[in-house]
Amino acid sequence: MRSAPLVACVAFVLALLTWLLLNGLNVNSARYDTQLQALGDFSRFERGMTREVLTARAGLSRNYDGLVEMVNAYDDALTKLRDTAGLDVEQTGAIDVLSARAGRQESLIERFKSRNALLQNSFAYFVLFSDKLAESDTRPLVTASSALAAAMLRLTLDTSDAAARQVEDRLEELAQLQTPPAEKDSVSALLTHGQMLHDLLPDIDIILKTLVAESNNREQDAMLALILKRQLAARASARQTRLLQYITSLLLLSGILYFGVLLRKRAVTLRRRATFEHAIANISMLFINSSNERIATDVEMALHQLAGYIGADRAYFACVVGTTMHTYRWSRDGVAFEPGWPERLLGLAPRFDGGDDGIVYIPKVNGSHRHDTMNLLAEAGVSGWLCIMAAYGSRDGILGFDAVRGGALTYWAEVSLFRMAFDAIGNAIRRARLEGEKERLQASLQHARRMETIGTFASGIAHNFNNIVGAILGYAEMADARVPSGSRPAASLAEIRRAGERARELVEQILSFGRRGEGRRERVCVKTLVDETKSLLAASLPSHVKFEVSDAADTAFVTGEPAQLQQVILNLCNNAAQAMKEPGRIELRIETRELARALPIGRSEVGPGRFTVISVTDPGPGMDEATLEQIFEPFFTTRPDGNGLGLATVREIVEQHGGAIAVQSKPDAGTRFDVWLPSGDPDEPRPAQCGHDPALRGAGETVLVIDTDRRRLLRYEEILAALGYEPVGFTGLAEAIDACRAAHARFDAALVCHLPGGSSLELAAALHDAVPDLPIILAAPSTRDLAIPSLKTSGITELVHHPLVSAELAGALARSLVASVRSGTSRRAAGVS
């Protein structure tokens, strides 16, 4: 309903503009021009008809084609005049007068045409018989016919009564003559045509005189005056309409300028609001990556930005987390905080009326009386104040802005937006404190578990490998003492000792690597990582393969888990070495790239941003297109002794680090792998990130695993054991169901792996029928073709990708077990004895 006046106003303006447009165009001007042209044609064709009639009368025209054309054009001009008159009554009357005149003219012309035809015919015969009688032997007959011809010629030129009587007398004289029998027919014919000429010539002259008399311009002049009158009136109306258009344009321009000013004012307000909201978004993004160590700096930076929008000299945020008060301050140069400020504001702020939104906004502090609470602000040197309190009058936190140099805060009607800033800062502080505590607890837990695992593993490695290496070195020394120095066996034993020493160093590096594996993301110098990996490769690469590092950028840093990144390089280099049958060189290149926009790499897309590219190139036999399409698939290998997990692991690690991998290869042209990893700024180290959440690890729960491939089953059991679960694997459904029925509460969850042919759902459904309360997780290559109703019918509670990914499987198991405990179906929840 509010838009109805606006719609009516717009409709009125459109109607007015349309009316002014149509009137300003002077559309009748063309009609009047057409009428003037038609009227001119009417007069011209009327004169043409008169000319054709006189030509025919004089005998210069042998037919009436020209006269007929003139008559038709005359009628067309009259029709055009009538068509353009429209509904103008006065013009219609004038045209009717012209039409009546045209009718008379055409009637006279028709009479003329019929009589003139007889006249011309009689003339022809009169001349014929006159010439014939002129050759007669009878003298009186020749004289009488000659006299008649002379009188007829005079009548042709003068159709007066005297000339007509003279012709009549000559006819009587000729008729009274005694005509010889031979000339009698000629005389009779001459008398007949002479009498017809005597009658026709005066009649035709009367028609001509009437036709000429009718051909005057009186009616045309009246019509012309009427058309010109209408045309002048239309032009005057058009001038008035153009004046109205000009006035209307001025009014519309004034309205546009007025609304433009309003829109600009509104746009400035919206732009300021959008800028502020963008700043809030940036602050929120800043807090997302903020750590417990940087939270103070980030909050001060946020206070600095917010103070600029309100023109404050100092800003602060005070809150209580648990039993501890946290205070963050920012102030301009030369502006200090009063003692106890802003801590005491937590008790002072509720004394002011913050309204429903808990915001106190006082652009200019002016105490009205001695007991006014504003005096408390003035005593603290505050001349303008904005305070955002916690919701519902809570004293847990405040966000404040002060003007202290005698000025006032900038007036802004959108101060309610500062509530978003309050929430963002408060949530960031609480999150940082909680994350700090969580990291401390997780670090303690991980350290304890790691020390236990690594201690056992390292002691076994050190005991077994060092005993073997020690035996090799011992026997080599004993053998060396029994061979001549400088002989070929001595040289071989020396190589054995050097290899043994390298093996011992390699064991030490492996143990050191195990001790470094924190499972946490950290800033990693790629050059350093490559140098460490290079020494590991030196003992494992074949002798015919050389390994070189070129263009190792010292400023290339990435954020990730060093052990996993080292595994990427090891796998790529070992694959390259295994593919090289001839002597050659593996080249590793490191470079940094800046991407202004997203770039497709392999099956992923990276960018924009800074990236470190690790390229591994070998001159091996290369690969064809069919092989390239499958090299990253798990368990795909082209070597009889390969397991097909190396490149699949590489891509999984790279993508988990937010990167991508691409391969370039052609048969007999070598192979190149490019690993793209997000790169950090070397001058701004990034905080480390946790790799896996320990909260998702199992606590010894028993998981039933079904997979028809025994080798794959063993691998998945190892993954589950590494995640803290007790796996029990089966290759057949019947065995699994028997085990469940034999000990119903033995299993906490079931993992059904992908089976070729789409029988995984049927297997899960059969297991669900046997043990309805058991949570079932289905591992499938794709979930696109799986319908939700069929999943529910089969008892499937979670879906994971196949091949299995540890992090995804850990999350699915944790969610399934939590849901089972809540529903009371877990064997632990049921209190199994």
Among the listed residues 127, 216, 138, 237, the one whose alpha carbon sits nearest the alpha carbon of residue 184: 138
The pTM is what? 0.32
pLDDT band, very low/low/confident/very high, at 826 (cuts 50, 70, 90): low
Residue that is written with structure tokens 């025994």 in the block: 710
Q: In angstroms, rounded to a whole number, what is the distance separating the alpha carbons of residues 445 and 441?
A: 6
User: What are the DSSP calls for 102-155, one per residue?
Assistant: HHHHHHHHHHHHHHHHHHHHHHHHHHHHHHHHHT-S-HHHHHHHHHHHHHHHHH
Q: How far apart are the first and last CA of the chain?
A: 72
Please, which pLDDT band fits residue 684 given cuts at 50, 70 and 90?
very low
Of 281-295, 499-513, 620-634, which gets the smallest average pLDDT? 499-513
Task: Report the Cα 706 to chain-centroid distance in Å.
Answer: 47
Tokens 């008790």 locate to 347
Given a cut of 50, is residue 393 above it in pLDDT? no
Q: Indicate the burial class of 750 (C-beta count within 10 angstroms; 0-12, 13-18, 19 or more).
A: buried
Top mean-pLDDT range of 9-13, 221-225, 766-770: 766-770
pLDDT-above-70 percentage for the chain: 80
Q: Which residue has the higher pLDDT, 401 or 214?
A: 401
Q: How many helices (H) and strands (E) does the chain have?
A: 22, 19
CB 622 within 8 A of CB 667: yes
Q: What distance in Å separates the CA atoms of residue 293 and residue 330, rounded to the nearest whole number?
A: 18
Contact 604, 660 (CB under 8 A): yes
Nearest to 728 by CA among 757, 700, 702: 702
Q: Which pLDDT does position 704 carry in this prediction?
A: 92
Asked whether 193 and 126 are in contact (CB, 8 A), the reply is yes
Distance from CA of residue 115 to its chain's centroid? 87
Q: Which residues of 671-694 are buried (b: 16+ CB within 10 A; e: fewer)?
A: bbbbbbbbbbeeeeebebebbbeb
pLDDT at position 2, please? 57
Give the angle subtended at the CA of 26 by the CAs of 21 and 28, to the nearest 5°.
135
Distance between CA 92 and CA 227 in Å, rounded?
A: 11
Mean pLDDT of 511-520: 45
Q: Which residue has the higher pLDDT, 257 or 54?
A: 257
Lowest mean pLDDT among 347-361, 492-506, 597-611, 738-752: 492-506
Rounded to whole angstroms, how far apart are CA atoms 352 and 365? 13
For position 509, what pLDDT does the model report? 43
Residue 672 pLDDT = 93
The least confident of 102-116, 275-289, 303-317, 632-646 is 632-646
Task: Specify the pLDDT at position 642.
Answer: 66
Nearest CA to 424 among 547, 287, 308? 287
The confidence score (pLDDT) of residue 812 equals 87
In this predicted structure, the answer to whether residue 687 has a pLDDT above a threshold of 60 is no
Q: Pick the more confident residue, 394 or 204.
A: 204
Residue 182 CA to its chain's centroid (Å): 114
DSSP symbol at 498: H
For residue 688, what pLDDT band results from cuts at 50, 70 and 90? very low
According to DSSP, the β-strands at 749-752 and 776-780 are parallel
Q: Is the pLDDT of residue 534 over 60?
A: yes
Q: How confident is the model at residue 777 (pLDDT cuts 50, 70, 90)?
A: very high
Q: Lowest-confidence range among 114-128, 389-403, 530-544, 699-713?
A: 389-403
Q: Residues 526-546: what's their mean pLDDT?
A: 79
Confidence of residue 551 (pLDDT cuts 50, 70, 90): low
Q: Among the listed ranges 413-417, 507-511, 585-589, 797-801, which one has the minimum average pLDDT value?
A: 507-511
- pLDDT at position 616 is 92
Single-letter amino acid, residue 658:
G
* Beta-carbon count within 10 A of 627 CB: 13
389-398, 416-425, 626-635, 769-778 — which is least confidently predicted?
389-398
Instruction: Report whether 572 contacts 585 (CB < 8 A).
Output: no
Q: Which residue shows structure tokens 């043990």? A: 771
Task: Report the alpha-carbon distance of residue 732 to residue 706 in Å, rounded.
Answer: 7
The angle subtended at Cα 479 by Cα 473 and Cα 484, nearest 5°, is 130
Q: Is 373 helix (H, G, I), strand (E, B) or coil?
A: coil
Candidates 806, 804, 737, 802; CA nearest to 774 is 737
Question: For 638-678, what is each residue's pLDDT tens digit?
Answer: 777 666 667 887 888 888 888 999 999 989 889 999 999 99
Q: Band of the pLDDT at 370, cuts 50, 70, 90? A: low
* Sign of the dihedral defined by the CA atoms of residues 689, 692, 694, 695, in that order: positive
In this prediction, residue 803 carries a pLDDT of: 62
- Report d(CA 587, CA 572) in Å as an integer: 11
Is residue 427 within 8 A of residue 317, CB to CB? The reply is no
In which residue are the tokens 């009047």 written? 32
Lowest-confidence region among 49-58, 123-132, 442-451, 618-627 = 442-451
Cis before 342 (ω within 30): yes
| CA dist., res. 382 & res. 316, Å (int) | 13
Residue 256 vs residues 245, 251, 261: alpha-carbon distances, Å: 16, 9, 8
- Let me know: does 781 contact 802? Beta carbons within 8 Å: yes
Q: Residue 503's pLDDT is what?
A: 65
Phi, psi of 397 (to 5 degrees): -170, 155
The DSSP string of 439-499 is: HHHHHHHHHHHHHHHHHHHHHHHHHHHHHHHHHHHHHHHHHHTTS-TTSHHHHHHHHHHHH
Residues in the chain, total? 833
Average pLDDT, stretch 230-250?
80
Kindly state the helix (H) or strand (E) to which residue 819 belongs, with its residue range.
helix 806-823
Q: Report pLDDT for 831.
A: 40
Q: What is the pLDDT of residues 85-120, one digit of tens each?
A: 777 788 888 888 888 888 888 888 888 888 888 888
What's the whole-number average pLDDT of the chain?
77
The pLDDT value recorded for residue 690 is 33
- pLDDT at residue 226 in the model: 82
Residue 457 pLDDT grade (very low, low, confident, very high; cuts 50, 70, 90): low
Q: Identify the CA nearest to 748 among candidates 833, 831, 829, 827.
A: 827
Position 683 scores a pLDDT of 52
pLDDT at 455 over 50: no
Average pLDDT (292-308) is 82
Tokens of 425: 């800062």
pLDDT, mean of residues 500-507: 60
Q: Apex CA 643: angle with CA 637 and CA 644, to 5°?
A: 45
What gap in Å lies between CA 341 and CA 345, rounded to an integer? Answer: 7
Q: How confident is the model at residue 26 (pLDDT cuts 50, 70, 90)?
A: low
As a whole number of angstroms, the distance between CA 337 and CA 320 comes to 20
Q: In which order are the strands placed within the sheet that holds 796-801? A: 726-730, 702-706, 749-752, 776-780, 796-801
Residue 695 has what pLDDT? 55
Q: What's at 597, amino acid-wise?
A: R
Buried-state track 221-248, b at ≥16 Cβ within 10 A, e below 16: eebbebbeebbeebeeebeebeeebeee
Report the DSSP beta bridge partners of residue 617: 587, 672
Contact 747, 727 (CB under 8 A): no
